[in-house]
Amino acid sequence: MSGEKWVYEYEHGSAEMKGLLGGKGANLAQMWNIGLPVPPGFIITTEACKAYWVDPRGLMDSVWPQVSDAVARLEERTGKVFGGERNPLLVSVRSGAPVSMPGMMDTILNLGLNETTVKALAEASGDERFAWDSYRRFIQMFSDVVLGLEIGEFEFLLSRAKGEQGCSYDHQLTADSLKKLVGQYLRLVESKGISFPTDPWDQLRSAVEAVFKSWNTPRAVTYRNIHKIPDDLGTAVCVVSMVYGNLGEDCGTGVCFTRDPSTGEKRLYGEFLVNAQGEDVVAGIRTPRPISDLKDAMPEVYSELVRLTDLLERHYRDMQDIEFTVERGKLYLLQTRNGKRTAKAAVKVAVDMVREGLISQEEAVKRVTPDQVEQLLHPQLDPSLKFDVLAKGLPASPGAAVGKVVFDADEAERMGKNGEDVILVRPETTPDDIHGLFAARGILTSHGGMTSHAAVVARGLGKPCVSGCEALDIDLAKGVMRVGGKEIRRHEVITIDGSRGLVAYGALPLVQPSFTEDFRELLSFADRVSKLEVWANADTPEDAERARGFGAKGIGLCRTEHMFMQADRLPVMQEMVASTDRDERLEALGKLKVMQKEDFVGIFKAMEGLPVTVRLLDPPLHEFLPKVPEMTERLEELIAQGKGDSPEACKIRVLIQRAESLKEANPMLGFRGCRLGIIYPEIYEMQVEAIFEAVVELMRQGVEVYPDIMMPLVGTYEEMRRLREMVDRMAQRFEAELGRKIPYMVGTMIEVPRAALIAGDLAKEAEFFSFGTNDLTQTTFGYSRDDAEGKFLAEYVRMHILGDNPFHVLDRSGVGRLLEIAVSEGRAQREDIQIGICGEHGGNPKSIAFCHRLGLKYVSCSPFRVPVARLAAAHAAM
C-alpha cells in the first residue's frame, strides 16, 4: 500500500482524470491549470477510497503523510496556517465521484475551527460575527456528517436562537447570539456522550473517512441504482482551502448554468445569495435571487462571471454548471461540470452548439439519449387551456403531471409501486427523499429555487416539478396544505405544470407535445449517421400520416384485422365468421372488400412513394365474436321478454354455436395466421383483391405505391409457396387490367422458430422477411405473453433468472440466435432479400442495437416511438 500516490495536487491533475480524481477534483485541477481563480487545494484519489473499504486503518496510515505534505503546501500558497493561532487555514472536505451524483454524498465546510482558531479567524477577518457563524456551521455539518447526529436538534436550537433575537434569517444573527449558539451546539454534542474533536488534524482525518463512507449511504446507493451507476467506482476527496461568501454584503455565493437547463436557451442562468455560504443556495433555506440581479448588486463580479463561464463552456464544449463564491468582491470558482438538463434543453443545446461550430453533428447526436427523446414525447398541458390557477411557483422541470397529493416520500414510493399517480408535495426535498421523487409523477415544493434539490433531481429524472411555490402552506403533521383559502388534503388530486410553474386543483387534460424545429434537425443528423431505417407499425391512414410526420420511412406492419374491429364493420365481419357455407361467406367478404379497399387507398396515399407492408388476417376468427357468456345473457333477456324467436335471438344462437365450434384450448397456437388463409382461401383472396384494387386505382392517378404483402405465422415451405402463388396469380390479372407491372412483393413474418430454421427454403418464395418478435418470443420461450408478465416474469427478472423481460428487450442468445440463422440462410438463398423487424422490440434501444449488428434494413415500431428509434439507430451506428 505504501509507495502508492494517493494525493494529487492540482498541477498533476486534469479533466481527463475523472476516474482517479472524481469529476469535481479533475475539473478543479483543470480549471486551476488553465489559470482560473480556484482556491488552492488537493485531491485524495478514488483508489484510496477503494483501499479504505478493504483496510481502513492501513489505508489512513499510508495516506496521512501525503496529506500532511499537501496541507503544508496549502499553507505556503495561502499564507495561512492549519490550526494556526494567527491567520488560520480552514478547508472544505468534499466528496466527488467519477460520475456526478449531485448532493448524494457529503461535504464539510470551515474545517479547522476550534476555541482558539475561531478567535484567530475573527481577528484576521476583522469580523467576529463571521467567525462565529462559520464555527456554528462547521459544528453542525461535522455533527451531521461525521458524528451522525440528528440534524433536527441543531436546527431547533438555531431557530430558537433566531426567535430569541427576534430575527427570521440565519445571517441576521449577531456575534453574541452565535457565540451562545455555538456553546449550545457543543453541549448538545457532549450530551450524546461524544467529545467534539478540537484538533484540526483529528477533524480532517475523521472528515476524510466520513467522505469515504458516504459512498455507501442508502441515499447514494439508491441514486446509483436508479441511474445505473456501478457501485465500485468510489469517491475522491477534495480538500480545498476555504473562501468566504459570508463575510458581508460584498460577499456571496451562487450556482449558475451557461445555458438555461430547462429550455436550453443561451443565457446565463442561476441564482445567488448575498452574504451566504455554499450550501445555503441549494438547501432552499432562503429563496435565492436570480443571477440577473447580480448585474446590479455586483456589476464587476457579474461581468467577470460572464467572461469566465463563457470561457469554461468553450473549453469543455458543453453547457457548464458552475458553483462560485465571492469573497470581498473577488470571484472564485469552486466547481464546474457538464450541466444536467431537460430533454428539451439537451436537444436545443446540442443543435445550437453545432450551429455555433463548437461540436460536430455526430457529437450532437451522441449527446441526446433515446430516453431523453422519450421524455420529449411526454404529455403537457395544452398551452391554450384556460383553468383556475391555484398557486404559482417556479417552472423547475417541464412537463405536466396529474396525481394524488402525498406529503411523504415513503408513501409516494408505496403508492407509486402500486401503479398510482402521485405528486410528492414537500416544503423542500433532501437527498433522503430520492426514492419518493423517483416514484412520483411530479414534484411540488413550497421552498427552494430553480437549483434546489427537488428541481435538480426532477430535471435529471425527466419529471415535472414546480418549486418555490411560497403561497403553499404545508402542514405535514396534519397532512394538508392550504392555499388561497382552500385546504387540500392528502390524496386529493392536483395537476402541476412544470413548464410554467403552475398548480391547479383536480385533474386537467394532458396533450402530446409537438416537435420543435431543433428536434427535427437533430433527428436529421441522426438519420445521416444510422444504417438502419425506421419504419412504423400503422393500421389506419391517420396513424400512417403521424408516422410519416415523425419521420418513418415506410410501414413495416399494417394489421388488417384492426380494420374489421370498427363498430360499423364488426357486424359484417361477424356475418363472415358465422357463415356456414362458402356462398354466405363470399357475400360477407364482398361487403368487407369495399371497406378494406377504402382503408388501403387512405394508407397508400399517406405513404406515397414509401413501402407499405400489409399483413393478411392473423387472429383466430372467434376473436371477432362477442364473448359467449355475454351472448347467453342477452339471449336469456330476449327470451324473458317473449322475444325468443326474434331475428336477433336467432342470430345470437347461430353466433353462440359458431363460437363454441371455434373454441380452442390454445388459441395462440391454433387456427390463425396463414392457416386461416390456406383453409379459407376466399378470405385472403378478398384481402389481396382489396389491396390490388386500391393500388390500381392510385397508380392510375399517378400515385407511387409500393405494397408488400405479408403472410403471418408461416411455418412450412408449402404454406409460403401456395400463398405466393395465389398472390402472383391475382397480380397478373390486375397487371393485365392496368397494362403495367405492379411493384409489389410477397414475403412472410418470421414468428415461429421453425420459420427461422427453414428460412433458406422460405426465401425461395419470400422476397422479404419481417421478424414478428412478439410471437417469436412467445413461441421460442414457450411463454404466453398475456399471462406470463403478471405471473412470473417480473419475479424472474428480480431473481436474475432473466436479465430483462424478453418481451421488452430482445433476448439475444435465444430469440436473437434464431434471427441470426434466418438472416444468414435467407440471404444465402436470396441475396437481396429485404429483412426487418416489426415486433414491439423495434422501438427498444437495446434491441435496435442488436438489429443494427444483424444488418437489418429497418426496424418498425409504433408511430410515437419513431423518433426514439431514429436516435437509437444512430447511437447503434456510432
**So which residues are the catalytic ones?**
453, 838
The set of cell numbers assigned to 243 is 473562501
219: contact with ligand ADP by CB under 6 A: no
Cα–Cα distance for residue pair 385/507, rounded to 1 Å: 13
Length of the chain in terms of residues written? 878
**Which option in ligand ADP, Mg ion, none does residue 751 bind, with CB closer than 5 to 8 A by kind?**
Mg ion
**Which option in ligand ADP, Mg ion, none does residue 279 bind, with CB closer than 5 to 8 A by kind?**
ligand ADP
**Which option in Mg ion, ligand ADP, none does residue 325 bind, with CB closer than 5 to 8 A by kind?**
ligand ADP
> If residue 32 lies in a helix (H) or strand (E), which one and from where to where?
helix 18-33
Cα–Cα distance for residue pair 240/288, rounded to 1 Å: 25
**Which option in Mg ion, ligand ADP, none does residue 161 bind, with CB closer than 5 to 8 A by kind?**
none
Nearer to ligand ADP, 301 or 727 (CB): 301
Nearer to ligand ADP, 323 or 719 (CB): 323
Nearer to ligand ADP, 94 or 812 (CB): 94
Task: Name 613's bridge partners.
Answer: 708
CB of 535 to ligand ADP, least distance (A): 45
Nearer to Mg ion, 324 or 525 (CB): 324
* Residue type present at position 656: I
**Which option in Mg ion, ligand ADP, none does residue 39 bind, with CB closer than 5 to 8 A by kind?**
ligand ADP
Query: Binding pattern to ligand ADP, positions 21-50, x when CB under 6 A?
Result: ------------------x-----------
Cα–Cα distance for residue pair 697/693, rounded to 1 Å: 6
**Which option in Mg ion, ligand ADP, none does residue 92 bind, with CB closer than 5 to 8 A by kind?**
ligand ADP
Cα–Cα distance for residue pair 581/567, rounded to 1 Å: 25
Question: Do 103 and 255 contact (CB within 8 A), yes or no?
Answer: no
Instruction: Give the dihedral sign, CA 129/133/134/138.
Output: positive
Q: Helix crossing, 582-606 with 570-578: angle to 10°?
A: 140
**Which option in ligand ADP, Mg ion, none does residue 177 bind, with CB closer than 5 to 8 A by kind?**
none
CB of 452 to ligand ADP, least distance (A): 13
Please choose, from the candidates 455, 467, 474, the residue with its C-alpha nearest in 3D space to the C-alpha of residue 501.
467
**Which option in ligand ADP, Mg ion, none does residue 772 bind, with CB closer than 5 to 8 A by kind?**
Mg ion
Task: Name 677's bridge partners.
Answer: none
Helix (H, G, I), strand (E, B) or coil at 412: helix
Query: Binding pattern to ligand ADP, positions 153-192, x when CB under 6 A?
Result: ----------------------------------------
Residue 508 CB partners (closer than 8 Å, separation 6+): 381, 385, 387, 400, 402, 495
Output DSSP code: residue 766. -
* Residue type present at position 141: M
Nearer to Mg ion, 335 or 780 (CB): 335
Single out the segment in contact with ligand ADP by CB under 6 A; choices: 145-153, 197-205, 240-248, 795-803.
240-248
CB of 800 to Mg ion, least distance (A): 29
CB of 321 to Mg ion, least distance (A): 9
Nearer to ligand ADP, 25 or 806 (CB): 25
Cα–Cα distance for residue pair 17/50, rounded to 1 Å: 16
CB of 243 to ligand ADP, least distance (A): 5
Nearer to ligand ADP, 326 or 612 (CB): 326
CB of 127 to ligand ADP, least distance (A): 16
Single out the segment in contact with ligand ADP by CB under 6 A; choices: 101-109, 309-317, 818-826, 855-863.
101-109
| Residue matched to cell numbers 433532501 | 430
125: contact with ligand ADP by CB under 6 A: no
| Residue matched to cell numbers 390463425 | 672
Q: Please pick, from the candidates 26, 51, 109, 351, the single residue that binds ligand ADP as defined by CB under 6 A.
A: 109
Cα–Cα distance for residue pair 611/767, rounded to 1 Å: 13
**Which option in ligand ADP, Mg ion, none does residue 409 bind, with CB closer than 5 to 8 A by kind?**
none
Nearer to Mg ion, 601 or 674 (CB): 674
CB of 86 to ligand ADP, least distance (A): 20
Cα–Cα distance for residue pair 439/457, rounded to 1 Å: 12
CB of 282 to ligand ADP, least distance (A): 6
Helix (H, G, I), strand (E, B) or coil at 75: helix
Q: For the beta carbon of residue 226, count every other beta carbon within 10 angstroms.
A: 15
CB of 237 to ligand ADP, least distance (A): 10
94: contact with ligand ADP by CB under 6 A: yes
Nearer to Mg ion, 502 or 614 (CB): 614
Question: Do 389 and 502 contact (CB within 8 A), yes or no?
Answer: yes
Cα–Cα distance for residue pair 283/336, rounded to 1 Å: 19
92: contact with ligand ADP by CB under 6 A: yes
Cα–Cα distance for residue pair 10/85, rounded to 1 Å: 27
**Which option in ligand ADP, Mg ion, none does residue 20 bind, with CB closer than 5 to 8 A by kind?**
none
List Cβ<8 Å contacts ≥24 apart for 114-117. Answer: 114/83, 114/198, 114/199, 114/200, 115/198, 116/83, 116/85, 117/83, 117/84, 117/85, 117/88, 117/90, 117/200
Please choose, from the candidates 44, 31, 419, 345, the residue with its C-alpha nearest in 3D space to the C-alpha of residue 212.
44
Cα–Cα distance for residue pair 758/793, rounded to 1 Å: 30
Using CB under 6 A as the binding criterion, the count of chain residues that bind ligand ADP stands at 16
CB of 39 to ligand ADP, least distance (A): 5
Single out the segment in contact with ligand ADP by CB under 6 A; choices: 102-110, 500-508, 618-626, 762-770.
102-110
CB of 429 to Mg ion, least distance (A): 17
CB of 219 to ligand ADP, least distance (A): 12
211: contact with ligand ADP by CB under 6 A: no
CB of 79 to ligand ADP, least distance (A): 16
The number of CA neighbours under 13 Å toward the Cβ of 202 is 8
**Which option in Mg ion, ligand ADP, none does residue 775 bind, with CB closer than 5 to 8 A by kind?**
Mg ion
| Residue matched to cell numbers 357468456 | 629
Q: For the beta carbon of residue 227, count every other beta carbon within 10 angstroms.
A: 13
Q: Please pick, from the candidates 28, 74, 139, 243, the single residue that binds ligand ADP as defined by CB under 6 A.
A: 243
**What is the per-residue burial (b if ≥16 Cβ within 10 Å, else e) of 791-827?**
eebeebeeeeebeeebbebbbbeebbebbebbbebbb
Nearer to ligand ADP, 334 or 833 (CB): 334
Nearer to ligand ADP, 49 or 494 (CB): 49
Query: Binding pattern to ligand ADP, positions 305-344, x when CB under 6 A?
Result: ------------------x-x--------xx---------
| Residue matched to cell numbers 377504402 | 598
**What is the per-residue burial (b if ≥16 Cβ within 10 Å, else e) of 393-424?**
bbbbbbbbbbbbbbbbbebbbbbbeeeeebbb
**Nearest residue to ligand ADP on Cβ basis:** 278
Q: Please pick, from the candidates 59, 186, 207, 240, the single residue that binds ligand ADP as defined by CB under 6 A.
A: 240
107: contact with ligand ADP by CB under 6 A: yes
Distances in whole angstroms, Cα of residue 579 to Cα of each of 467, 587, 672, 675? 64, 9, 17, 18
Ranges within 270-299 binding ligand ADP (CB under 6 A): 278-279
Distances in whole angstroms, Cα of residue 92 to Cα of each of 89, 114, 253, 552? 10, 15, 15, 54
Q: For the beta carbon of residue 856, count every other beta carbon within 10 angstroms.
A: 23
Residues in contact with Mg ion by CB under 5 A are: 335, 751, 772, 775
**Which option in Mg ion, ligand ADP, none does residue 243 bind, with CB closer than 5 to 8 A by kind?**
ligand ADP
**Which option in Mg ion, ligand ADP, none does residue 533 bind, with CB closer than 5 to 8 A by kind?**
none
The residues that touch ligand ADP, with contacts defined as CB under 6 A, are 39, 92, 94, 103, 107, 109, 240-243, 278-279, 323, 325, 334-335
